[in-house]
Amino acid sequence: MSTPTGFMEFSRQLPIDRDPSERIKDWEEFHKHMSDEELRTQGARCMDCGTPYCHTGVDMAGGTSGCPVNNLIPEWNNLIYRGLWREALDRLHKTNNFPEFTGRVCPAPCEGSCTVGLIGQPVTIKTIEQAIIDKGFEEGWVVPKPPERRTGKRVAVVGSGPAGLAAAAQLNKAGHNVTVYERADRIGGLLTYGIPAMKLDKGVVQRRVDILEAEGIEFVTNAEIGGNIPAQQLVDEYDAVVLCGGATKPREFNIEGSDLKGVHYAMTYLNGTIKSFLDSGLEDGNYISAKDKDVIVIGGGDTGSDCVATSLRHGCNSITQFGTHEKAPLERDSLGNPWPQFPNVYTLDYAQEEAKAIYGQDPREFSIMTTKFVGDESGQLQELHTVQIQRMIDDTGRKVYQPVPGTERVFKAQMALIAIGFDGPEQTLIQKLGLETDRRSNVEAHKGRYTTNVDKVFAAGDMRRGQSLVVWAINEGREAAREVDKYLMGSTVLV
């Protein structure tokens, strides 16, 4: 333990973000850094609990509690307190291949289950995590470490998102020859094309890809397995195949007027902007622009928030975000949402902070449902019609939403972005390999084994578990790699 009374002596601190009204003018990351001394003080707040709930990730009450990659959080908090940054980096990398990603985009379920948070404010875990890895790169401590020997086994990884990169990194570490196939023109999957640059700088992604490549991993872009590369070819040519293609099929939103011009799915919108930004700094104009438009984002999750932030940077006229969920309370409900569950409390994400700074209020509308889109004579979206809703439990025990009579409203909009989640992985590759799926259309591969019904084909990440967090994808990629290593070698050197 750093100091037994640290959590009483020091208050929780977070880094000061760039001013919202200024940062929307560019696409740079918005977080500033804390000093080493400030981070040391935050590390001192860690209690080194006898049962550290922070580093045991489990699904709980529809959310995640603790860290799915089992980060050794009390250990590196103590090392930071003692000024042992390089040793802290070693402990961090022991469980997490890519802390520079999770330190930026993870919602930090570890902090939600921090014991200090039971009676006060949790330890600033996520900030310390990012600081450790960023200092590791700054000091030159993060360097390629190719395996000392090769096994002669060849493994194909399909998809280069967090699950695919984690699986590839671990399998390469075990000495196997790994080739990663990515259908996009850049490596990174959703890390590159799903998360805006101000949230995760693409240079941060490429920096890690360069290290993995220097360690011996081969990357192949513009390679769609089941498309321009036959799926069976991989099964025939490799000793094992790991499918990490993600859950990229958008949930359909088929209501009246959904075919109007101006109605777009969120990932189409985000992907286009990110690609144009990387290709030309948005100079080529090959993206859907929200400039001078009244924009409504349908969906209250992270993807919806990213759409809000992107629209602001495009120069939208106004922005509103719809969510079917109720407005969360200011404090945790100790009965309905007890610790160590992830706290369901009212907060402003970075995008809502920005919208509030520009327009003076939280852009979100809660407990609201869109009933139809209305366009003009040319088929261009002009209005969204809505109704307030309340959540009920039906006779079968399911949660359903009931419209509240007399709460109908009309919102002006020339653009609507649908960010209501995903309906599992795309099915082409699955069907061509004859893979069994579960009731949600995900690849059937039991957690802990990651094997499918097809010999030597494994599946991990969102393609197996459905849409989830980046940190769960890393966890699954690592675990799947361990099972592949056991399949190939009879035992495993991976943990």
Per-residue pLDDT tens for 159-218? Answer: 999 999 999 999 999 999 999 999 999 999 999 999 999 999 999 999 999 999 999 999
Helix (H, G, I), strand (E, B) or coil at 275: helix
Q: Are strands 381-393 and 368-375 parallel, antiparallel or unpaired?
A: antiparallel
DSSP 258: T
Per-residue pLDDT tens for 33-66? Answer: 999 999 999 999 998 888 899 988 999 988 999 9
Euclidean distance between the first and final Cα of the chain, in Å? 26
Cα distance between residue 454 and residue 153, in whole Å: 19
CATH class of 154-248+424-489: alpha beta
Cα distance between residue 442 and residue 21, in whole Å: 41
Cβ contact 334:453 at 8 Å: no
Element (H, E) at 399: strand 399-403
Per-residue pLDDT tens for 76-99? Answer: 999 999 999 999 999 999 999 999
Every domain of the chain and the residues it spans: 6-138, 154-248+424-489, 263-418
Cα distance between residue 495 and residue 487, in whole Å: 15
Peptide bond preceding 340 in cis form (omega within 30 of 0): yes
Asked if the model's pLDDT at residue 343 lies above 90, the reply is: yes
Per-residue pLDDT tens for 131-167? Answer: 999 999 999 999 999 999 999 999 999 999 999 999 9
Q: What is the mean pLDDT of the chain?
A: 96
pLDDT for residue 1: 63
CATH class of 6-138: mainly alpha
Long-range pairs for 387-390: beta carbons < 8 A, 24 or more residues apart? 389/324
Q: Exposed/middle/buried for 12, CB within 10 Å: 0-12, 13-18, 19+?
A: middle
Count of residues for the chain?
495
Q: Which two tokens stand for residue 85?
A: 């940054």
Per-residue pLDDT tens for 411-451? Answer: 999 999 999 999 999 999 999 999 999 999 999 998 899 99
Asked if domains 6-138 and 263-418 share a fold, the reply is no
Q: What residues pair up with 295 in beta bridges, in sequence order?
A: 319, 415
Asked if the model's pLDDT at residue 274 lies above 80, the reply is: yes
Cα distance between residue 67 and residue 59, in whole Å: 10
CATH 3.50.50.60 fits 263-418, yes or no: yes
Give the ranges where 17-58 is alpha helix by DSSP (H). Answer: 20-23, 36-43
